[in-house]
Structure 1
Amino acid sequence: MSNLLWKSLVVSPAVLGATLLVSTTAIAAPNTTTEVSAVKQAGVAEVAQQPEMLAQTTIDQVNRYSNEGNQNNSQSQVTSVSQFSDVQPTDWAFQALQSLVERYGCIAGYPNATYRGNRALTRYEFAAGLNACLDRVNELIATATADLVTKQDLATLQRLQEEFSAELATLRGRVDSLEARTAELEANQFSTTTKLVGEAIFAVTDVFGGNTGDNNNTVFQDRVRLDLQTSFTGRDILHTRLAAGNATAFTQFDNAGGAINTAEGTQTFEIGSTGNNAVRIDRLTYEVPVGPANVYLAASGGRHSHYAAVNNPYFFDNTDGGNGALSTFASESPIYRIGGGAGIALNLPLGKGGGILGNSSITAGYLASQANDPALSSGLTNGDYAALGQLNFSVGDRLALAATYVHGYSAGGFLFDSGSTTDGNIVPVGTGQANTLLGAGSSNSYGVSAAFRPSDKLSVSGFVSYHDVSGFGANDDYEAWSYGLGVALPDFGKKGNVLGIFAGAEPYSFNRPGFVGNDIPYHFEGFYKYRVSDNISVTPGVIWLTSPGQSSANDDAIIGTLRTTFTF
């Protein structure tokens, strides 16, 4: 462990230095009440009358101007200044503006008939109304209806314009500036329907313990995911995620110096054997509500944990895996890693509140690993697949329970590899005895999971899964077990930080012909996610594996990791 701490201290400044280099500063937008009121009363913020268009943009400045003080997103025409209850009717300016408004109908005000702001804002609000009347008079003149404008009104307008010249100049300058900024943002924005959510992971990691430690070196690895999240209605979401990385898992060795057939201790940012930072699409899914149900469609990279409740808060990161537990095993029950690819799923509530079914729902999904392959032994129905059914139940917002069943078929490979048959980027979990499928076979898996939050500062979660595999060859039948329990302390030391401790047994199987080792491979993990800023976190942690490869004769393996996560 001292060796691990020394290596972490050596590399940490480099990682944290990179962290500081990539941080950015948000561009502040003006938000004074003066600007908001002036723009609204002048009628130049016409986008306030188009909430559907604003819902599709990411222009924060426009949203700020258009939504301030407008609770119901509607405006009604005001034809008398006397409707503004906080304007003094004894001012000559009030009486003059009232006369102009009632003759030309040139001001639109708030439906509740009051001006926003205090006395210091009254001159700007009057200047806004005056500006509207000037525009209305100019419109009448331009349309050859100038005879409707009397000389007396023109004189009044001139006097008011002189009285409020400073305010009018300020107002028009702000409007021009706002229009210029809005035009620039609209011309350069990425999309009105799509936002980019990204995550980059820098990880320094090493493994210690006997031959495993001697045959592996300290590594500095990375993984990047860029998720284009598109919404067409505001309630649906299309995920198009690009991924690249170079993080491969450590190879574990027995005391004779031979490699152990195991996937224990794999971490969430590790991507398997093809870690060369090649860019690929690793998720293409669409989620949309249809009636009372939420429908999930996966064209590629579908996972059961995308749509089913995992019930493992603070350990499972449902976005990109860079802010939860270090290991794949601690992040979710292995039952959700049986099958994957393309398919459909839905979540349907079973009650409308009250009664025993009031807080329950049912989840069902089907994912095929070779759905794109038209070969006779592949496709959507004849290739590898997994069908999931899950009953979810919650008691308030403190307790969540789930019972899960998964039926799967595979032509061979690994059981807990998220349905990957050809994608070397997918890393399985568990020992070789539990994971390895010698040939074609089917599996029936049963699991329960629970999450309990007794307070806002404590969360306890866990799972148990049992797997019955029926191989189509001789002596291919076997059973596998897995279980785990985690305790998380959110906001530990600072808001946004998380201290997590997890313990359990990665998937294991006893007495399989051709495999050696009948000991339970225990997994212990501790990590502390420190939130440097809203976009950067640093997570040091340790994973301790006992009896790797289900053999107590093999030395324990200890993995130390310093993970830095950038989200944007």
Structure 2
Amino acid sequence: MSKLFLNALKMSPVALAATFSVANSAIAGEVTSVSQLTQESSQEMGQVTSVSQFSDVQPTDWAFQALQSLVERYGCIAGYPNGTYRGNRALTRYEFAAGLNACLDRVNELIATATADLVTKEDLATLQRLQEEFSAELATLRGRVDSLEARTAELEANQFSTTTKLKGEAIFALSSAFGDQAADTDNDDDNNPDLQDNVTFSNRLRLRLLTSFTGTDQLETRLNAANITQFRGGVTGTNMTRLGFDSNNGNNVELDKLNYAFNATDAVRVKVEAIGARVSNNINVFNPLFKSSSSGAISRFGRFSSIYRANSGSDSSGLTVSFNPKGRFSFDAAYVVPNASDPSDGNGAFNGSNTALAQLSFKPSKQIGLGLVYSRVFQTGSDVNLTGSIGSGFAADPFGDVATTSNNYGVQASFQPSDQIVISGWAGLTNATAESGANEGADADIFYWSANVGIKDFGAEGNVLGLIVGQSPKVTDSDIAAREDSDTSFHLEGLYKMKLTDNIAVTPGLMVIFNPEHNNDNDTIYVGTIRTTFKF
């Protein structure tokens, strides 16, 4: 800092406080760009009438008299919205120049309003010398402001929309399922079909339009095109091997999500979904590192509990109401219908398949979360899929394609013992009842669980190392003995997400399914993938 700046310490209290207090209150902390300066300046509070309004300024402070005089004589002081002055903050030459310029503007205003007698000649001389000393910095700031204004004007002239943001995501994946044979449901391993193990290269592209009319609401419109193979059926013989990001519409661009969310009150959030209703997008599933299809688990099973999947999908409609969503205790209620737009018998919003779900969540801190969830599901005919295509075939439709109701109970939890480690998991129990057909009144119990560990910033900032183990949905007891799973399958998954840039991540991963379809006669199946995700 120049000698003139050091000599400024000898000026009168008014001039000294004018230069330093305005600089400190106008800009807090180190500023390296005009955009940062503008952002910090937006946090100022208005003109104060007494120095006692600052909670951190005491009569015993060495600059108290100067600040008091500054308020009474010049009215040239501002602080922060929380009522603090922060007089001990360090400042750069740019900050000092900006504060000096603000004070000069105030002095000129006083002179113009015929109150120049409040300003001494000595103060004006000192301020003039300071202005000359910092002329280069002031010119630089003015140049940066002019440049920023020009850039802002250009952005406003060419912006996509004043109310809508466009976000995009592209996934490219190399994937393969491998092992000896595909799975089946019988106890004869001699008739299992061949496993389709050719390596595939596929993609998924999504474009999201997010529109807000009030600042607190959001209209979401999403377009989707994909050709990612679903490792099931004729490929592996089981849903247990499905990827968490699979989607295949032949790369045709389709509207697969349309919804509108708004605040009914300060404590109530409402979301109406015309198509693409998925409960897991609207409430906490307590699996923060692995729930995303583009950056989370590589498997469908590892993303979140299957209790959230029944009747959800691209053709589903729904309504979710969240009470106190940001509080320690919160409550969510959801209603999802897969065929709401179909007026034929056994369909519609209330006469066909549907899911009614309620969840009570408790988050005593940022490190701990617990959720208790219950859902009542009704499905008919080809809609019957109680597990959302995750577990065994028997668990998905324990009585075949007949009308089925189920009561589903789940517990979810997450725990973060340190900044880097996140532990999460869930357990669920389903009691299903056949509502029609030859087995009307028959019952079946389905059980599943998962335990997950994620290590953040492993190897580099933004990377995630993950391990997922669990048991996919299994029919543990059934009145129809032939549709009860005889053995137990286990899911093991490892992945490593590498964040290359803010927009690009590469995730190699491997999942291993032991005893597929909960059948010891089936060979172990492996699914490996390298998922590359681009976001913009």
TM-score, normalising length: structure 1: 0.68
In structure 2, the residue matched to 1:296 is: 271
Given the alignment of the two structures, is residue 431 of structure 1 paired with residue 392 of structure 2, yes or no? yes
Match for 1:462: what amino acid?
Answer: W
In structure 1, the residue matched to 2:15 is: none
- What are the Cα deviations for residues 277-325 of structure 1, in whole angstroms up to 9, with x where unaligned? 43323342424352422222222211121223212232222xxx11111
Counterpart Cα distance in 2 of 1:465 and 1:310: 16
Counterpart Cα distance in 2 of 1:524 and 1:136: 75
| Deviation, structure 1 residue 222 | 1.3
When residues 181 and 558 of structure 1 are mapped into structure 2, their CA distance, relative to the original with a 3 A threshold, is same
- What are the Cα deviations for residues 125-180 of structure 1, in whole angstroms up to 9, with x where unaligned? 5567768999999xx9xxxxxxxxxxxxxxx99xx799687677555544432221
Match for 1:400: what amino acid?
Answer: G
Given the alignment of the two structures, is residue 493 of structure 1 paired with residue 459 of structure 2, yes or no? yes
> Paired residues, what number?
457
Q: What SS is found at the alignment partner of 1:413?
A: helix
Counterpart Cα distance in 1 of 2:141 and 2:473: 68
Given the alignment of the two structures, is residue 200 of structure 1 paired with residue 170 of structure 2, yes or no? yes
Question: Residues 126-165 of structure 1: matches in 2 within 5 Å?
Answer: none
- Is contact 1:335–1:416 with CA below 8 Å preserved after alignment? no
- What are the Cα deviations for residues 4-62 of structure 1, in whole angstroms up to 9, with x where unaligned? xxxxxxxxxxxxxxxxxxxxxxxxxxxxxxxxxx9xx9xxx9xx9xxxxxxxxxxxx88
Counterpart Cα distance in 2 of 1:362 and 1:127: 53
Match for 1:343: what amino acid?
Answer: G
| Deviation, structure 1 residue 412 | 2.0
Given the alignment of the two structures, is residue 539 of structure 1 paired with residue 501 of structure 2, yes or no? no
When residues 286 and 120 of structure 1 are mapped into structure 2, their CA distance, relative to the original with a 3 A threshold, is closer
| Deviation, structure 1 residue 558 | 0.8
Moved more, 551-560 or 510-519: 510-519
When residues 235 and 75 of structure 1 are mapped into structure 2, their CA distance, relative to the original with a 3 A threshold, is farther
Q: What SS is found at the alignment partner of 2:154?
A: helix
- Is contact 1:207–1:250 with CA below 8 Å preserved after alignment? yes
> Which residue of 271, 274, 286 maps to 2:247?
271
Match for 1:215: what amino acid?
Answer: Q
In structure 2, the residue matched to 1:442 is: 405
Match for 1:545: what amino acid?
Answer: I
Counterpart Cα distance in 2 of 1:322 and 1:311: 17
Counterpart Cα distance in 2 of 1:382 and 1:62: 60
In structure 1, the residue matched to 2:39 is: 67
| Deviation, structure 1 residue 236 | 3.1
In structure 2, the residue matched to 1:472 is: 436
In structure 2, the residue matched to 1:524 is: 492
Given the alignment of the two structures, is residue 241 of structure 1 paired with residue 217 of structure 2, yes or no? no
Given the alignment of the two structures, is residue 363 of structure 1 paired with residue 332 of structure 2, yes or no? yes
Counterpart Cα distance in 1 of 2:103 and 2:462: 47
| Deviation, structure 1 residue 270 | 0.5
Match for 1:506: what amino acid?
Answer: S
> Which residue of 441, 448, 472 maps to 1:483?
448
- Is contact 1:450–1:463 with CA below 8 Å preserved after alignment? no
For structure 2, which runs of at least 5 residues remain unmatched after alignment? 1-18, 28-32, 50-61, 80-84, 113-123, 183-193
In structure 2, the residue matched to 1:176 is: 146
Q: What SS is found at the alignment partner of 1:276?
A: coil
Counterpart Cα distance in 2 of 1:277 and 1:508: 35
Given the alignment of the two structures, is residue 564 of structure 1 paired with residue 532 of structure 2, yes or no? yes
Given the alignment of the two structures, is residue 396 of structure 1 paired with residue 365 of structure 2, yes or no? yes
In structure 1, the residue matched to 2:342 is: 373
Counterpart Cα distance in 1 of 2:522 and 2:426: 27
Counterpart Cα distance in 1 of 2:238 and 2:307: 17
For structure 1, which runs of at least 5 residues remain unmatched after alignment? 1-37, 49-60, 78-84, 90-97, 141-155, 254-258, 353-358, 419-426
- What are the Cα deviations for residues 518-565 of structure 1, in whole angstroms up to 9, with x where unaligned? 322322212122222222222111111122233322222111111112
In structure 2, the residue matched to 1:506 is: 472
Given the alignment of the two structures, is residue 284 of structure 1 paired with residue 253 of structure 2, yes or no? no
Counterpart Cα distance in 2 of 1:351 and 1:487: 24
- Is contact 2:219–2:258 with CA below 8 Å preserved after alignment? no
TM-score, normalising length: structure 2: 0.72
Match for 1:304: what amino acid?
Answer: V
| Deviation, structure 1 residue 234 | 3.4
In structure 2, the residue matched to 1:315 is: 290
Moved more, 516-525 or 304-313: 516-525
| Deviation, structure 1 residue 208 | 1.0
Counterpart Cα distance in 2 of 1:223 and 1:417: 26
In structure 1, the residue matched to 2:14 is: none
- What are the Cα deviations for residues 362-420 of structure 1, in whole angstroms up to 9, with x where unaligned? 221111112223334322111221100222233433332222211122222254479xx
Counterpart Cα distance in 2 of 1:389 and 1:113: 47
- Is contact 1:490–1:496 with CA below 8 Å preserved after alignment? no
Q: What SS is found at the alignment partner of 1:181?
A: helix
Counterpart Cα distance in 1 of 2:179 and 2:217: 48
In structure 1, the residue matched to 2:57 is: none
Q: Percent of aligned positions with the same letter in both sequences? A: 36
> Which residue of 320, 335, 344 maps to 2:307?
335
Counterpart Cα distance in 2 of 1:316 and 1:506: 16
Moved more, 442-451 or 67-76: 67-76
- Is contact 2:177–2:196 with CA below 8 Å preserved after alignment? no
Counterpart Cα distance in 1 of 2:334 and 2:94: 61
Counterpart Cα distance in 2 of 1:64 and 1:245: 41
Match for 2:300: what amino acid?
Answer: T
Counterpart Cα distance in 1 of 2:43 and 2:93: 22
